[in-house]
Amino acid sequence: MGRVTSTTDVRSDRRASALAASVGELETLSRFGRDDVEARAEQSVAEAEELGRADLALRARLVQADLLRRCGNVAEAGRRAQEIQRWATEHGVRHLQARTHFVLASVFQELGDLSLALEHAVRSVELLDDDALPETRIDHLARLADCLGLSGDVAARERYDHVLGLAETLGDIERQLLVLNNRAYCETVAGAFEEALLWCTRLQELTHRHGAAMPVGRLDTVGRALMELGRLDEAEAAMLPGERAGLLDASLDGDAGADFLLTLTEVRRRRGHVADAQRTLDECVRRCEAFGLTAIRVRARREQAELHASSGNFPAAYAEHKLYCVELMDLQSTERDARARALQAMYETDEARRQTRRYRELSLRDPLTGLYNRRYVDDQLPRLLGRGAGGAGTVTVALLDLDHFKRVNDTCSHEIGDRVLCQVADLLRDAVGPVDDGAFAARMGGEEFLLVLVGLDPVAATARLEALRRTLREHPWSELTGDLPVTVSIGAACAPGLTDSEPTEVLGRADAHLYLAKRQGRDRVVGDPAASVRD
């Protein structure tokens, strides 16, 4: 039996249909960071609540959550998306489920968990209804391609071809440009710079053909591809339009153009235009400090070290590089803590708590070598040195520094240098032995490591360190470094097991002994007895 409808019912249905269309438009506009999306989303929430349409209100709130993500509040965006997803799942609202997976794919992408990002991207495509807007389908398929591309999966290329074809059929220039840029960017991440340049060229041609402006994020992609191919003059020429202040400030990436400026600095330095590069870097740093862009500021330190070196100011280059190493380690720990907090905020389940513990452990690890990092040293060393009264035994703290390591990076490449560091880390793990006594190895930054031995008297500890030094020197490095040897200087200090010791005092003695080992000719161990042994 049908129902009798009133004029009010008809008007409500029409308002709901119009509102659904408006929210759908907001979902597609939010992809491009339009200025008025936030205000329109808030208005849509109010109207949907007035109509009693919780589904439409939550769709608008999801748009707001995605805008939060774009502004850097990733954890809160993820938490809101999770709440909306639970409601959508309970009520069987497929479109809303698909959109929450779409947003969560970006959230986990920014949190560095590409595996989870890919899972959400796949689900966002699977849950789309056949009658979904073509723009929505393109967005979801493009995000899936992005996740595959960033993961290094060659299947991304086929996905990009498909989604680009859909955008071309639709005549959607904005989405064509977005897909071209993202494909080019993923190719640069994979190191396929010739392939990246192919898509950058298509990006430039399409932009020019339609008289569109090229945002700095896309200029950065083009400049990076050209730079990595050694086409430095073309790279700078391509990036020059982005220096206009208005274009920098309008960056949709939330970085006020700082990332673009950092790439332009590198291009100019490589061209030998050091003064111009320095001015560009100064503006990049100013924007980093004004907008709190910590990650880009850390990378700017590395570039500043390169600029000092290019100017022949090697002491300043060394000092800046040390600052870069320290701040990079701090940043990596902070980022991992942030990821852990984000997961904690997003989940209340047992699985979430397990993920949090996993990220806490990651925050104490050096991402390159897997050894503990400086943060772990700061946490653990005071406990070990303070256990003397409890009978922990003598604690030996050794600082290890690879000799002339810069030669490896400069002669063989930074990639080879990283492989050497990883192999050294493996040898350090072997030297630690059983870890139930508290012994551990850590990377302090750059080519400097720390080894803590527990329960060995000074003679036995020195013998262990000597054995490590010989093992490292005699390792078959030629497979990696050719004729370049790899040796290590070691400075050690012992803390007696019957009295508490201050970490700074013990580390200070070890550092002084390391300096002495370097002064005496490197490739040796110097400890408390002031005896250095060398084959």
DSSP for 321-359, written as a single string: HHHHHHHHHHHHHHHHHHHHHHHHHH--SHHHHHHHHHH
Highest mean pLDDT among 267-271, 369-373, 477-481: 267-271
Range of the domain at 404: 372-533
> What does the alpha-carbon distance between residue 369 and residue 409 come to, in Å, rounded to a whole number?
16
> What does the alpha-carbon distance between residue 470 and residue 534 come to, in Å, rounded to a whole number?
9
Q: What is the CA radius of gyration of the chain?
A: 28
Contact 424, 366 (CB under 8 A): no
Cα-flanking dihedrals φ and ψ of residue 397, to 5°? -110, 120
Q: Is the predicted pLDDT of residue 381 greater than 70, yes or no? A: yes
Q: Is the predicted pLDDT of residue 313 greater than 60, yes or no? A: yes
Across all residues in the chain, what is the average pLDDT?
84
Containing H/E element for 526? strand 525-526
- State the pLDDT at residue 524: 94
Average confidence (pLDDT) over 460-481: 93
Q: Is the predicted pLDDT of residue 392 greater than 60, yes or no? A: no
In percent, how much of the chain has pLDDT > 70? 85
**Residue bearing the bigger pLDDT, 28 or 295:** 295
**Residue bearing the bigger pLDDT, 385 or 388:** 385
Cα 146 versus chain centre, distance: 16
> What does the alpha-carbon distance between residue 217 and residue 200 come to, in Å, rounded to a whole number?
12
SS3 letters across 185-197: HHHHHCCCHHHHH
Q: Taking Cα atoms as reference points, which of 106, 25, 92 lies closest to residue 60?
A: 25
Q: Identify residue 31 by its one-letter amino acid code.
A: R
Q: What tens digit of pLDDT does each residue of 319-351 get?
A: 999 998 888 888 777 767 766 666 665 554 345
**Residue bearing the bigger pLDDT, 444 or 38:** 444
> What does the alpha-carbon distance between residue 433 and residue 442 come to, in Å, rounded to a whole number?
14
* Domain-embedded: residue 483: yes
**Residue bearing the bigger pLDDT, 318 or 111:** 318
Q: Is the predicted pLDDT of residue 171 greater than 90, yes or no? A: yes
Q: What tens digit of pLDDT does each residue of 73-103 get?
A: 777 888 888 889 888 888 889 989 999 999 9
Highest mean pLDDT among 1-10, 294-303, 358-367, 523-532: 294-303
Q: Taking Cα atoms as reference points, which of 173, 151, 176, 152 lies closest to residue 163?
A: 176
Q: Taking Cα atoms as reference points, which of 427, 423, 428, 425 lies closest to residue 439?
A: 428
In the numeric block, the tokens 């899972």 are attached to: 119
* Domain-embedded: residue 377: yes
Q: Is the predicted pLDDT of residue 264 greater than 80, yes or no? A: yes
Q: What 3-state class would DSSP assign to 139? A: helix
Least confident of 30-39, 298-307, 375-384: 30-39
Q: What 3-state class would DSSP assign to 493? A: strand
Containing H/E element for 400? strand 395-402
> What does the alpha-carbon distance between residue 117 and residue 306 come to, in Å, rounded to a whole number?
35
The domain total for the chain is: 1
Q: Is the predicted pLDDT of residue 138 greater than 50, yes or no? A: yes
Distance (Å) of CA 262 to CA 70, 82, 231, 306, 517: 21, 35, 17, 12, 38
Average confidence (pLDDT) over 380-391: 67
* Domain-embedded: residue 417: yes
- The edge-to-edge listing of strands for the beta sheet with 440-445 is 440-445, 448-454, 395-402, 488-495, 525-526, 532-533
Rounded (5°) CA angle 426-429-432: 155
Q: Is the predicted pLDDT of residue 371 greater than 60, yes or no? A: yes
> What does the alpha-carbon distance between residue 389 and residue 368 come to, in Å, rounded to a whole number?
36
Give this prediction's pTM.
Answer: 0.61
* Domain-embedded: residue 332: no
> What does the alpha-carbon distance between residue 224 and residue 239 come to, in Å, rounded to a whole number?
10
Strands 440-445 and 448-454, how do they pair?
Answer: antiparallel
The CATH number for 502's domain is 3.30.70.270
Write the CB contacts of 381 (distance below 8 Å, at least 6 apart in sequence): 397, 452, 503, 506, 507
Q: Is the predicted pLDDT of residue 176 greater than 80, yes or no? A: yes
* Domain-embedded: residue 378: yes
